[in-house]
Structure 1
Amino acid sequence: MSALVAPATGADIAELRQLYYAVYGPHYPAGLGTDPAEMARLIQDPDSLWLVARCPDTGALAASAAIHGEPGSRIGRLEGLAVHPDHRAGGLAATLTEALCAGMLDSGRLDSVYATVRTVSAGPQRVVARNGFRPLGVLPNAVDLSSRESLALYARHSTGVLERRVPVTEVPAPLLPLLKAVESCLGVSYGDVRATSPLPAAGPGPVERLEMIEAPAFVRRRFHERFPDTAGWFYPLHTPNVLLTPDDGRFEVYAYLNRTGGYCSLLTAHPDPAAAADHLEPVTRALTRAGAGYVEALVPLAHHQALSAFLAQGFVAGALYPAMRADGDGFHDYVVLSRTTEQIDFRGVVVEPPLQPYLDCYLSAWASTYLPTLEVAS
C-alpha cells in the first residue's frame, strides 16, 4: 500500500489511542499510546519525531511510529511501532522506520537510535534489521503485556560513531562471551580487552529498612538538585519517579518504576553509585514488592567495580550497547544488566539467527549465576 506519511498532530490522538488498543489490547505499558497528555507532549517535542501513515483511499490511520529524543542528548529511541491488523504485510512498519531514521539519524541530529522489539514473532526483528538496526542483546522478562515477555535490543548508529569508541582494558570474565557476540554481530573488536575475575563484594553495612518514596514531582525535583547535569548519571530517556533510602539517609537510589509493564530501571545513586552498590539486594527486594518483576541497570563497560557489584547480586548481562554515550570526541560502551524474580520461559521466544548468539550467552550466564556447580567426589 502506498500510504500517506506525515507527522502526527494533536488531532490524531483519539485515532492513535484506538490504533494502539487494536494492536496491543488494554495492556500497552507506554504513555505514547494511552495517555493523551503524554502523547500531546511528544507530538510537540522538538527533540522527537512522530510519524503516522494513512490509507490513501479512506484516510484511515494505518500505522504509527516515533523516535523519542531528549534535550542535550544525541541518542534516541524508536518506539510505538504499530500497524493496524487490517494493514499488515504492506510494508508500513519499514516505511515509517526508514522515514524516521532519515529525519533523525541520517540527518545528523542523533548519533544512534535504539529499539526494544518483541520476540513473540520474527516480524519486529526483521523490520528493524531491514532498516539498518543490528542486535545488541536480549532482555528476558522485560515487560508484562498480556503475559511476561522478553525483548530484544537493537540499535542503528550514524556513520563513523562505532569507530570512535573509547577503549576498555579489562572487564569481569563473565562478560567476555557477550563481548564476543557483539564482535561477531557488529564487526567491532574487543581483542585487546583482558578478562579478569570480578572484584570481591564488600560486606554491606546494616540496612534496617528502606523507605520508598513515590511522589514523582518531588523525586524529579530532588533528582535534579542532586544531579544538575548528566555528568553524574546517564540513563537516556528515563526520568526517575521513585526514590529509595535507608532510615539514616546515607544514600539515595533513584529509579523509574512502571507498574503497568511490571519493570524498573535503576538510574543512579547519591552521593555516588558506589554508596548503594553493596545494598543492591534490599533495593531489588523493595522494588519487587512494589511490582517490578524485572529490574535493570545500565553500567559503563569501563566500570569494573560497578559491574562486579551487580554480578555479585545476581544481575545477569543480557546486552551490550557499543558507543552509547558521547564523551568529547569519543563514545563509551554500556552493559545492560537485569534481574528478574519471575520464571523465565523461553519456549515462546522467536529469535532470528543474528540474535541467537545473545540468547545463548544469556542462558549460559544465567545458569552460571543461579544453578549450583555439581562436584563429584571419588
Structure 2
Amino acid sequence: MTVTVERATTADIADLRQLYYAVYGPHYPTALGTDPAEMSRLIQDPDTLWLVARGGPGDALAGSAAIHSEPGSRLGRLEGLAVHPDQRGSGLAGALTEALCARMFATGRLDSVYATVRTVSAGPQRVVSRHGFRPLGILPNAVDLNCRESLALYARHAEGVLDRRVAVPEVPASLAPLLRTVEDSLGISYAGTRTTAPRPAPPGPTTARLEMIEAPAFVRRRFQERFPDADRWFYPLHTPNILLTPDDGGFEVYAYLNRVGGYCALVTAHPDPAVAAGWLEPVTRTLTRAGAGYVEALVPLDHHGALSAFAAQGFIAGALYPAMRRDGDGFHDYVVMSRTTEHIDFHGVVVDAPLQPFLDSYVSAWASTYLPSREVAS
C-alpha cells in the first residue's frame, strides 16, 4: 500500500473527527480531535505542524499526528497520534512521528518535544521510543477516557541540549530514586546534587474558604495582566481557565481544568507561588470537588522549598523532565508533582521495559507517602 504523508488542511476536519472517533470512541478529551473550530485554528497555526497519512482505497485518511508549540516557547508537544484500527501494524504511527520531529527540529525553533503516552498497551511506548523519545516518568490516573488511565511521559531533545543543564545543588531526599532512574534512562548525571531533608511545611490557612472563578475569557485576560511576560511563570501549552482566591484576595492561583478528561494543571500563583504554598490542601480539595481526579504541577528541580511544600500535601514526584526550560545558555530541569484523589489501579497498566523503573519508583514513593511505617515492639 502506498502511503502519502502531508500537512493537514481545513478540508480534512470532518475526516479527522471520524478518525479520532474510530480510534478513541466518544471520550477523547482534547479539542484537537473533536472541536472543528479549534482544529481549524491549529491547522492554520504557524506554531503547529499537523500531518496526516493517506493510503488505501480512495486515499482514505489513515493516520494523524501534530506537534504543537506556542510563541516564545522552545518546547513542543506531540499530540493527537492516531492510526485507524484497520491500519494498525502498518508503521504509520512511526512514519508520522519521525516526519514531525525531523521537520520541527530542522527549523531550529525547538529544544525538545514531549509526549504523554497511553499505557493500555506497550505499542504507543515503543513507537515513540523507536524515534528518539526516552521515558521520563509515569502520570498515574492522569486522564479519564473510558476509565481512569495512567499516562507515561516521554521526551526527545535536540542535539546538545542535555549537556547544558544548570546544576542543582540539593533536592529533597524523597526525589533520590527518581533522579537515579532518570540518570540510567537518559545517561545524564546528578552526581553533584545532594539529597537533604525536606524544608518545613508552610503554615496552613486559618480559614480555608476559597472562591473559584470559572470564566475562561476573564481568567485569561487577568492572567495576561498579572504575567505580561513568561519570566515569572512556566507551564507550557496550558492556558489557565479558572482562578482560585481566598476571601481576602491575598493571592490568586491560576489553573487549567479539563472536566472532560478529569484533570487539572496548576499553572502559577500571584503575587508569588510561595504565598499560596500553605493553601495547597484547600486548593486541591476545591479542584477535586470541581471534577479534577488528577492535579499536577511543574516545579523547578532547584526550588527545594516548593518541592517540599507539594510533598507535604501528598503530591508525588512521578516524572522528571531534564532541560525543559531554556534560560540564557543553560537549561532548567522540572519535576512533575501530581496528586490523585481516586484509587490507583495499576493492574491494567502495560509498560515497556525502559519505563518499568519509573513505575517502580512511583510505587515506592507512593508507599512512603501514604502507607504508615510499622514499628516493631521487642
Give the structure-2-normalised TM-score: 0.99
| Range with greater deviation from structure 2 (83-92 or 201-210) | 201-210
Q: Does 1:322 align with 2:325?
A: no
Partner letter of residue 47 of structure 2?
A: D
1:2: Cα distance to partner? 3.1
1:247 partner amino acid: D
Moved more, 237-246 or 206-215: 206-215
Deviation at 1:106, TM superposition (A): 3.6
Number of equivalences: 378
Q: Match of 2:231?
A: 231
Partner AA of 2:143 in structure 1: V
Given that 1:98 and 1:131 are in contact with CA atoms closer than 8 Å, whether structure 2 keeps it comes out as yes
Indicate the residue corresponding to 1:175 in structure 2: 175
Number of the residue aligned with 2:268: 268
Given residue 323 of structure 2, which amino acid in structure 1 is its aligned partner?
A: A
- Equivalent residues in 2 for 1:295-374, closer than 5 Å: 295-374=295-374
Letter in 2 for 1:256: Y
Q: CA deviation at 1:377?
A: 1.6
Q: Does 1:107 align with 2:88?
A: no
Over the matched positions of the two proteins, sequence identity in percent amounts to 77
CA deviation vs aligned residue, 1:230-289 (integer Å, no higher than 9, x gap) = 111000000000000011000100000000000000000000000101110000000000
Name the residue aligned to 1:143: 143
Structure 1, gaps ≥5 residues long: none
Where does structure 1 differ by over 4 angstroms across 4 or more consecutive aligned residues? Answer: none
- The alignment yields a C-alpha RMSD, in angstroms, of 0.7
Please, which moves more after superposition, 204-213 or 37-46?
204-213
1:279: which partner in 2? Answer: 279
Measure the CA separation in 2 of the matches of 1:15 and 1:295: 33
Specify the code of the residue in structure 1 equivalent to 2:69. Answer: G
State the partner residue of 1:187: 187
The letter of the residue matching 2:369 is T
**Where does structure 2 lack aligned partners over 5 or more consecutive residues?**
none
Q: Determine if the alignment matches structure 1 residue 73 to structure 2 residue 73.
A: yes
Q: For the residues of structure 2 that align with 1:355 and 1:343, how far apart are their CA atoms?
A: 21
How far the C-alpha of 1:58 sits from its partner, in A, is: 1.7
Is this contact kept in 1: 2:140–2:150, CA < 8 A? Answer: yes
- SS in structure 1 of the partner of residue 58 of structure 2: coil
Native 8 Å contact 2:208 2:282 kept in 1 = no
Tell me the equivalent position of 2:165: 165
What are the within-5 Å matches in structure 2 for residues 85-96 of structure 1? Answer: 85-96=85-96
Q: After alignment, is 207-216 or 109-118 more displaced? A: 207-216
Distance, in Å, in 1 between the alignment partners of 2:207 and 2:186 is: 43
Deviation of the 1:190 alpha carbon: 0.2
For 2:188 and 2:254, locate their aligned partners in 1 and report how far apart those are by CA, in whole Å.
33
Greater shift, 50-59 or 20-29, is seen at 50-59
The 2-side partners of 1:248 and 1:291 are apart by 25
Superposed displacement of residue 312, structure 1: 0.3
- CA distance in 1 between partners of 2:36 and 2:334 (Å): 33
Q: Check whether the contact 1:172–1:196 (CA below 8 A) recurs between aligned residues.
A: yes
Q: C-alpha separation between the residues in 1 aligned to 2:207 and 2:3?
A: 58
Question: Is the Cα contact below 8 Å between 2:202 and 2:277 reproduced in 1?
Answer: no
Aligned to 1:49: 49
After the TM superposition, which of the residue ranges 260-269 and 51-60 deviates more from structure 2?
51-60
- 1:11 paired residue number: 11
C-alpha offsets along residues 288-309 of structure 1, whole Å, 9 cap, x if unaligned? 0000000000000000000000
